[in-house]
A and B are shown apart, each in its own frame.
Chain A
Amino acid sequence: MRILKYKEAISEATVQAMEADNSIFVTGHAVDYPSGIFGSTTAAAARFPDRVFDCPSMENGFAGIAVGAAAMGKRPLYVFPRADFMFLSFDNLLNLACKWRYMYGGNAGRVPIVFRAIVGKGWGQGATHSQSPHAPLAHFPGLTVALPATPADAKGLLLSALTGQDPVVIFEHRALYDTEGPVDEAMTPIPFGKANIVREGSDITIVATSFMVSEALVAAEELAARGVSVEIIDPRTVRPLDEKTILASVKKTGRLIVADTSWELCGFTSEVAALVAEKGFHHLKAPVRRIALANCPAPVSMKLEEAFYPKASTLANAALQLLGKASTDMAHIDQESLFKGPY
């Protein structure tokens, strides 16, 4: 299979979906510029100049406009170059879009709007350019929340969103944009609610989201060299959540680490920990361990930022502790951030 970058996979999915369905349009800041959201919308803008257009700074208004356009049969794809700006759209997204089908009893049709929101990390992105609110969004019935961790997922989940019937938010991690992987050339949607067993193993399960999947893979390699077999489960969507695959893995390994790209309290790690406590407690040989952002806003200074983000070595050490083994300095396994500014 061809190897594509994450951003190329997004671009390909967008173009293919727009070819198949002329009700799709793309908007958001600078989507039709040559730089096109890190190249992810450039090809679509060239191919469909009437359906890829810039948007003023009006995140809440436009979320409502997207709903009204969708109610008339359009499929808006609204791109937020920084996920943090999407906070401004929560009224129309959460009060209107994701309740639409339910609160009109199905009689007002469906509003299949799709938001792409890019999460920053590293290079001093700081407190308001790096957040990933997937857990609070997943709280709301009616909304699908996806976090592609690979180029294949980036394409397949976006295709599902653009061919589905309901509102979807996709969180794309900037640190993944240049990563490469095999991507099916055909339009093959990846269904929501089906976890990816990224790596099979028998000693410990790591449930990881988004960029933490790559960190978990690095940790798993290091742990394999030390005789520890890690299974990595990427839920791909946090709503709907594939409980079955997570529980089956914990049943097999008896140990669980949950690693997420946001904070711990009321976060995705809490949800998975609660799930396993409720439905898989008897499988556990050790307490659940959560790996999340440090409990403070993202700092800018390089030294503080390094301490803020958990990384492969954090995961590997947590795994050793859960297995009752001595932790060691594993800083050498941590990936250098590929993410460079200034944007």
Chain B
Amino acid sequence: MADVDREQWLHMYEQMAKIRAFEEQVNELYTSAKMPGLAHLYIGEEAVAVGVCEALRRDDYITSTHRGHGHCLAKGAVLDKMFCELLGKAAGYCRGKGGSMHIADQDTGNLGANAIVGGSAAIATGAAFSSKRLGNGRVAICFFGEGALGQGVLYESMNMAQLWKLPVVYVCENNLYNEYTHHSESTAGSMKARAEAFGILAVEVNGQNVGEVHEAAQQLIARARRGDGPAFLLCHTYRYHGHHVGDISRAYYRSKDEEQEWKTNRDPLQSLKDWLTANGMADAGIFEQIERSVADEVSVAVNYALNAPFPAPEEVSQHVFA
């Protein structure tokens, strides 16, 4: 595994545990009708966001997807502002105007979650263009699901990124399903070869193994920062829940056995726990401690958000223009 010390491993575990606890709380808020709109849960995919973001500087850029809570948290977002945004409260990251699918935070380099599949491919590429032009050494990460492989703008962006050697890493989270359709029904040929056709270095990893994701991300990000151009990181992962929280009857597109197999045998948190324990770097007590403290943090944050005020009516017409 990657050259990471014990403290960093535990930090990565904590980040993954935080995303999971946050998402479980979101599920509860949604099913108890406390949260408006839609909720697309990231549970099961935590190792991708954390493995990648752990290799970034705070001022590096990310763009995210409609399943973006994990990316935001992994890049440094704080729980109370996240919950406030999801509940449409004024203290949210976007003053309640973006919601779950549009969280952005300039302070952590988060250029925004995007509800158009593939919608941020060009934006991330543009951020990389700025970084190169301004010479500030920043790298842009473009997170997207395998469903975005059907969007032409992704390939237009990759073409320009490779022509102009832009510091951008396209991180494809292949969670197998384009909403409710298996990728084999939507995506012809090889996913990796799509990037390779542009001469872009493409690497494929087990997205349930945070160490593997992190090691590859470190290399690709360092390479981009050096000026060696874009890369494509294909992460094989799985979303435990449906496309969104309301997607409960899933039998027509995937089996319970398949879901059980991933949850039981390929869970990213459990895998890291097992590996750290087997290597004598941690024991059950440490994990329990982390989980307890994360649960407390989540509970304080959600209570804060539930009691926080909504935006004042006059805010509705603010921020149309800069």
A and B: bona fide binding partners: no
Contacts from B to A (Cβ < 8 Å): none
